[in-house]
């Protein structure tokens, strides 16, 4: 799997196929048992502790469930990385934090606590925090989950605009086929820990691969079973009668 610099790439597949695990490998949370993971020319799984954390400061991660600091306000959550990893003044941090919150439509919620936010709002705050340091690589784990249609469209456009404006690279793990295919440059499909198909959005829409076609168009019949394995339905009905 190759993620070109400056592109937005989606990774799709059923739950449990290895998508989130792949993000953890890229970020160095996990180390591969074989092979290697390269980011910006560096082999992530060969880096020592200091070098790995140096590389991570050039990455942004939107976690699947937001992972906000619960005892910090929205403002403090977004400002946290700037205070930890830069020598910016408090005035500069304030301006940049408000800028990031404005981008996700939540500048007015700056003094709220995470417990006062809806799930969708919390996800948008997490996005603002993940882009706080203008990272070279952004990883999004299900960024559209739990968002209303308006927020979903705005966040999708924001991901695209941020990537292009920063000259960054973005990897999006998602089940949202419609939004992803309208947003990304390239798609990888995974199943059972392996890449089974890849191509541009147009390639994916026109794919003759049965798995890909069923996934993209949400069809019940295909290689992916909709029904959990069970005995023959007529047999169950007959036994219930007797």
Supply the range of the domain harboring residue 88.
Answer: 8-208
Tell me if 103 is assigned to some domain.
yes
Rg (CA), the chain: 21
- Residue 110: the pLDDT is 93
What is the mean pLDDT for each group of 10 consecutive residues in the chain (242 residues)?
A: 92 81 91 92 92 90 81 94 90 93 89 88 86 89 79 82 86 84 90 85 82 70 59 73 54
Q: Count Cα neighbours of 226 within 13 Å in the Cβ-side half-sphere.
A: 7
Tell me if 231 is assigned to some domain.
no
Tell me if 234 is assigned to some domain.
no
Written as six digits, the tokens of 213 are 């076609």
- Residue 222: the pLDDT is 58
Tell me if 138 is assigned to some domain.
yes
Q: Coil, helix or strand for 173?
A: strand
Tell me how far apart the alpha carbons of residues 71 and 74 are, in angstroms, rounded to a whole number: 10
As for how many domains the chain has, the answer is 1
What are the pLDDT digits (tens) for 166-204?
888 999 998 778 788 888 999 998 887 788 889 998 888
Tell me if 242 is assigned to some domain.
no
Tell me if 163 is assigned to some domain.
yes
- Residue 219: the pLDDT is 63
51: CB partners within 8 A, 6+ apart: 42
Beta carbons of 88 and 96 less than 8 angstroms apart: yes
13: CB partners within 8 A, 6+ apart: 19, 189, 190, 191, 215
Tell me how far apart the alpha carbons of residues 40 and 108 are, in angstroms, rounded to a whole number: 37
Q: What percentage of the chain's residues is helix, strand, coil (to nearest 5)?
A: 45, 15, 40
What's the pTM? Answer: 0.80
Nearest to 66 by CA among 162, 147, 187: 147
Tell me if 1 is assigned to some domain.
no
Tell me how far apart the alpha carbons of residues 206 and 216 are, in angstroms, rounded to a whole number: 10
CATH of the domain at 204: 3.40.50.300
Torsion of CA 8, 186, 192, 15, to 10 degrees: 50
Tell me if 101 is assigned to some domain.
yes
């Amino acid at each position: 799997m190759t993620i070109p610099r400056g592109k937005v790439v989606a990774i799709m597949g059923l739950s449990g196929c290895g998508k989130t695990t792949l993000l953890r490998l890229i970020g160095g949370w996990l180390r591969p048992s074989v092979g290697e993971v390269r980011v910006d020319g560096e082999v992530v799984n060969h880096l020592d502790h200091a070098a790995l954390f140096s590389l991570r400061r050039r990455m942004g991660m939107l976690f699947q469930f937001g992972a906000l600091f619960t005892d910090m306000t929205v403002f403090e959550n977004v400002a946290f990385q700037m205070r930890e990893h830069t020598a910016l003044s408090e005035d500069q941090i304030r301006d940049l934090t408000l800028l990031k919150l404005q981008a996700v439509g939540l500048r007015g919620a700056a003094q709220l606590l995470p417990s006062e936010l809806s799930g969708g709002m919390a996800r948008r705050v997490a996005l603002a925090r993940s882009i706080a340091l203008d990272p070279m690589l952004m990883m999004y784990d299900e960024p559209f989950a739990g968002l209303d249609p308006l927020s979903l469209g705005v966040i999708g456009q924001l991901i695209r605009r941020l990537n292009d404006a920063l000259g960054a690279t973005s990897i999006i793990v998602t089940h949202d086929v419609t939004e992803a295919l309208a947003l990304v440059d390239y798609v990888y499909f995974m199943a059972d820990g392996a890449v089974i198909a890849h191509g541009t959005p147009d390639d994916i829409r026109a794919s003759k691969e049965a798995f890909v076609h069923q996934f993209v168009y949400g069809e019940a019949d295909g290689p992916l079973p909709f029904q959990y394995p069970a005995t023959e339905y007529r047999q169950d009905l007959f036994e219930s009668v007797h």
